[in-house]
Amino acid sequence: MDKRKDNMERDPRGSANRPGAPKGPRKAKQRRADLLESASRLFVEKGYASTTMNEIAADAGFAKGTLYHYFSTKAELLMSLREEFDQRIERLIRARVDRCRADDWRGRIRAWIAGAVDGYFALSDLHDVVIYGTEMPFRNSMLDSEVTRSLAALIADGVRAGAWKVEDCRWMAVMMFYCFRGGCDEAMTGTQQAGDIPDRLYPVFLRMLGIVD
């Protein structure tokens, strides 16, 4: 079957909410992922403003009309990329944290830092697109961040276990996240070595949690 014709038979996001949406939720999920992959690559290579919906559709092997079944605007596509980016970082963090013993609270904090730093540097180009591409202040992206929520949950778990005392876990998570971001940005500008960031952040995080050796 011709790829373009095949692509035009897909169901957007597995639903029939949009008029003219083709059927097939499983195939639709894959085609949506293909579109996000193409958009991610083009946004990084050309910039968000310079990339057109036509180019994204063509890169993914879709007809333009089919693309609009999945994403009605380029801004909607970018927001979906931001959500996916956030989830990718969270998966990297979770993989690290889950390797620690349940009662190793210091180890879990160190693992969170390592996973977040790894994700930041591995996806730094995409990060700049999804965070700054919408011209939305960075602080707005903190409101529903999976990464911040994961850190807040880790802090709250530690509070319940008696590992540290924190009155406002959400506030502490946001403050620690900005500390992490600042450390990574210093390395990105060349004033610090990227490999040193986890070890430099770890004692800072512990002090923020009230742990002093």
Specify the pLDDT at position 94.
94
Assess whether pLDDT exceeds 60 at residue 66. Answer: yes
Assess whether pLDDT exceeds 90 at residue 212. Answer: no
Residue with more model confidence, 148 or 10 = 148
d(C-alpha 8, C-alpha 76), whole Å: 20
Q: Tell me: the pLDDT tens digits for 1-29? A: 444 444 433 433 344 444 444 455 558 88
Can you read off the two tokens belonging to residue 191? Answer: 């004033």
pLDDT band at 182 (very low <50, low <70, confident <90, very high): confident
Residue 199 sits at the vertex; the CA angle it makes with 197 and 202, to the nearest 5 degrees, is 105
68-72, 80-84, 95-99 — most confident range:
95-99
Give the H/E segment covering residue 47.
Answer: none
d(C-alpha 136, C-alpha 131), whole Å: 8
46-50, 85-89, 155-159, 176-180 — most confident range:
155-159
Q: What is the mean pLDDT of residues 56-63?
A: 91
Q: Where, residue-wise, is CATH 1.10.357.10 in the chain?
A: 83-208
d(C-alpha 110, C-alpha 38), whole Å: 34
Assess whether pLDDT exceeds 80 at residue 54. Answer: yes
pLDDT band at 135 (very low <50, low <70, confident <90, very high): low
pLDDT band at 168 (very low <50, low <70, confident <90, very high): very high
d(C-alpha 3, C-alpha 160), whole Å: 54
Contact 147, 177 (CB under 8 A): yes
Contact 164, 208 (CB under 8 A): no
Instruction: Give me the chain's average pLDDT, please.
Output: 82
Architecture in CATH for domain 83-208 = Orthogonal Bundle (1.10)
**Which fold is adopted by the domain 3-72?**
Arc Repressor Mutant, subunit A (1.10.10)
Exposure b/e, 94-132, CB count within 10 A at least 16 = b: eebbeebeeeebbebbbbbbbbbbbbbeebeebbebbbe
Specify the pLDDT at position 191.
81
pLDDT band at 133 (very low <50, low <70, confident <90, very high): low
Can you read off the two tokens belonging to residue 98? Answer: 């889950």
Q: Which residues contact 213 (CB under 8 A, 6 or more apart)?
A: 206
Specify the pLDDT at position 104.
97
Specify the pLDDT at position 187.
84
Q: Where, residue-wise, is CATH 1.10.10.60 in the chain?
A: 3-72
Assess whether pLDDT exceeds 60 at residue 198. Answer: yes
Q: Which of 42-56, 89-103, 139-153, 163-177 has the least mean pLDDT?
A: 139-153
What is residue 139's DSSP assignment? Answer: G
